[in-house]
Structure 1
Amino acid sequence: MSNTETRPPELTCGGESEAERPADVEVLTPRDVPLGGPRAMRVRRTLPQRARSLIGAWCFADHYGPDDVTGTGGMNVAPHPHTGLQTVSWLFSGEIEHRDSLGSHAYVRPGELNLMTGGHGISHSEVSTPGTTLLHGVQLWVALPGEHRDTERDFQHYVPERIPVDGGEVRVFLGSLAGDTSPVRTFTPLLGAELSVAPGAEMTLGLDPAFEHGVLVDAGDVLTEGTAVRPAELGYIAPGRTSLTLTNRGTGPARLVLLGGPPFGEEIVMWWNFIGRSHDDIVRARDDWMNGTRFGEVHGYDGDPLPAPELPNVPLKPRGRAR
């Protein structure tokens, strides 16, 4: 998915020290962002934000729907570039057609992971299919560590199994949880899983204490370690915990996405759809995209690629650390 903001902020993210992280669950509220033109669907963005820029290597989280695409026009994101990151597409309902400059032509469906590695540079398009009525899911980005940020472009597809646990079930699309491990390759240790908690139930899962975690609530009346986290909010949990307890106080199932990873030890610069390490990295990536080099072509999309926004006229100002 593209960041379609016309004036995207340029952010320096990362470098938060563990000593500065709170011991309890920190609730991050989303902001609404339009995805495209005047009839565009809107997404709820919880990462990055001023309070926290990364959770492990997870650096971007958009949550959208359920969106009636017959009223909004759905998702139609023209070819756009990415560098220095992996994109993670995960749906709850609907279907999205994916095309990229690697030549991949695939569909994003509920319960199926599509992971695209941008590395040195890739471009892709995303369009909800004509048969989709309700579009609902999350789009996530993972920052690549410095030694791998110029890796070759790649695309992986994986369908995880439903793993029953006390209180509900989990589907692990990245990393390991509840005795299940995803085979999908990442460049830093990561956790990504969909959790379903039964009505009135409590679920306790073992955690890697070296990881920090984020619980993104999609639906339900949920307590995360006793703290209420409402739908579309993200509960942050600092490293050090060996377990996570989720309580569904509602009469219907609760659905959540659990993200995790060890604190990312590098600062990154994010602007539009690029991740670099300096302002000059971003300038070069933008120039390459506008000049038609480096990112390849997306074939089969009916329309023109997205032009890059204008860069800010001021030098990069580093973000403050999370408190």
Structure 2
Amino acid sequence: MSNTEVHPAELRCGGGLDAARPPAVEVLTARDVPLGGPRAMTVRRTLPQRARTLIGAWCFADHYGPDDVAATGGMDVAPHPHTGLQTVSWLFSGEIEHRDSLGSHAFVRPGELNLMTGGLGICHSEVSTPTTTILHGVQLWVALPGEHRNTARDFQHYAPAPVPLDGGRALVFLGTLAGDTSPVRTFTPLLGAELSVDPGATVTLDIDPAFEHGLLVDTGDVRLEDTALRPADLGYLAPGRTALTVANPGPDRARLVLLGGPPFEEEIVMWWNFIGRSHDEIAQAREDWMKGTRFGEVRGYDGAPLPAPELPNTPLKPRGSKRDLREQGPSAKKP
């Protein structure tokens, strides 16, 4: 997805800014972000925010739907660039057509992972297909570590097999969980999985104590380690735990997305669709996009690429606590 804010702020995050001791489960609530236009679909943005900017290398999480595309027009995101990150597309319903400057032409379908590596620079478009009636899913970004932030562009697709759990099931699209390991390549250790918890069931999972974790609720009112989470909430757990317990007291199956990774120690700068390490690095990426260099071309999309917004006059300075940071989240566009 792409950010079309006219004056996006520059965001510095990571770098050991989590100095305060968090509660056992930190509950992060989402904010609504319209994708553009009077009939646009709206996404619920959980990362980044003032309370927390990263969970492992996960730096961006949009949760959208169920969206009636007959009412909103669905998703139509014109070609736009990315640097220094990987995009993770995961659907619960609907279908999205993906085209990128690597030449990839693929479809995002429920239960199938599409992962695109931006690295030094890539551009892509995302359009919900004509057969889609309800669009529902998550769009996630992963920050690349400094030594790999200029890696070559790449695209991977993976359809994980369901893993039965005592009281539910898992689809492990990144990393390892419940004895299942995804073959998809990442540049830092990561966990990404869709979880289903049966009505009245409790699921306990072994987790890596070196990881911090975030549990995003799609459907159902659940309890994470005895802390109540409602749909669109994200429950955060700090490193040090060897197990995670989710209870679903309701009458319907609960669906959740579990994210994890070791704390990301580097400080990153995220502005618009770029992730870098300095204002100058971001400014160069913007200039290259506007000049039509570096990012390649998306073929097969009917329309012009998105122009980059203007940079701020002065870069933001890092501050002592991330709660003092000016938070900005990338937002997608529907013309």
* Mapping for residues 193-212 of structure 1, pairs under 5 Å: 193-212=193-212
Counterparts of 1:43 and 1:319, CA distance in 2: 29
Maintained 8 Å contact 1:86/1:116: yes
Equivalent residue for 1:59? 59
CA 17–243 in structure 1, closer or farther in 2 if over 3 Å, else same: farther
Give the secondary-structure state (helix, strand or coil) at the position aligned to 1:195.
Answer: strand
TM-score (norm 1): 0.98
Maintained 8 Å contact 1:213/1:236: yes
Q: Which moved more, 1:29-38 or 1:204-213?
A: 29-38
Give the secondary-structure state (helix, strand or coil) at the position aligned to 2:215.
Answer: strand
Give the Å deviation of 1:83: 0.0
Equivalent residue for 2:221? 221
Counterparts of 2:17 and 2:72, CA distance in 1: 42
Equivalent residue for 1:118? 118
Give the Å deviation of 1:161: 0.6
Maintained 8 Å contact 2:19/2:321: no
Give the secondary-structure state (helix, strand or coil) at the position aligned to 2:51.
Answer: coil
Identity score, percent: 80
* Mapping for residues 158-307 of structure 1, pairs under 5 Å: 158-307=158-307
Give the Å deviation of 1:167: 1.0
Q: Which moved more, 1:186-195 or 1:13-22?
A: 13-22
Maintained 8 Å contact 1:11/1:317: no
Aligned length: 323
CA 103–319 in structure 1, closer or farther in 2 if over 3 Å, else same: farther
Give the secondary-structure state (helix, strand or coil) at the position aligned to 1:20.
Answer: coil
Letter in structure 1 aligned against 2:285: A
Equivalent residue for 2:157? 157
Letter in structure 2 aligned against 1:79: P
Give the Å deviation of 1:195: 0.2
Deviation string 1:169-212 (CA, Å, 9 cap, x unpaired) is 00000000000000000000000000000001100000100000
Equivalent residue for 1:128? 128
TM-score (norm 2): 0.94
Give the Å deviation of 1:253: 0.4
Equivalent residue for 1:317? 317
Letter in structure 1 aligned against 2:230: R
Give the Å deviation of 1:318: 2.2
Give the Å deviation of 1:278: 0.5
Counterparts of 2:141 and 2:297, CA distance in 1: 21
CA 19–306 in structure 1, closer or farther in 2 if over 3 Å, else same: closer
Counterparts of 2:51 and 2:140, CA distance in 1: 18
Letter in structure 2 aligned against 1:112: E
Counterparts of 1:173 and 1:79, CA distance in 2: 25
Maintained 8 Å contact 2:95/2:129: yes
Maintained 8 Å contact 1:5/1:33: no
Maintained 8 Å contact 1:89/1:139: yes
Maintained 8 Å contact 2:174/2:193: yes
Letter in structure 2 aligned against 1:164: P
Give the secondary-structure state (helix, strand or coil) at the position aligned to 1:290.
Answer: helix
Give the secondary-structure state (helix, strand or coil) at the position aligned to 2:74.
Answer: coil
Counterparts of 1:322 and 1:238, CA distance in 2: 16
Equivalent residue for 1:102? 102
Counterparts of 1:160 and 1:319, CA distance in 2: 41
Q: CA RMSD in A?
A: 1.2
Dislocated runs of 4+, deviation >4 Å: none
Maintained 8 Å contact 2:18/2:321: no
Letter in structure 2 aligned against 1:185: R
Maintained 8 Å contact 1:36/1:77: no
Give the Å deviation of 1:6: 2.6
Counterparts of 1:273 and 1:86, CA distance in 2: 11
Maintained 8 Å contact 1:16/1:321: no
Maintained 8 Å contact 1:40/1:72: yes
Counterparts of 1:42 and 1:75, CA distance in 2: 10
CA 186–226 in structure 1, closer or farther in 2 if over 3 Å, else same: same
Letter in structure 1 aligned against 2:41: M
Deviation string 1:255-302 (CA, Å, 9 cap, x unpaired) is 000000000010000000000000111100000000100000000000
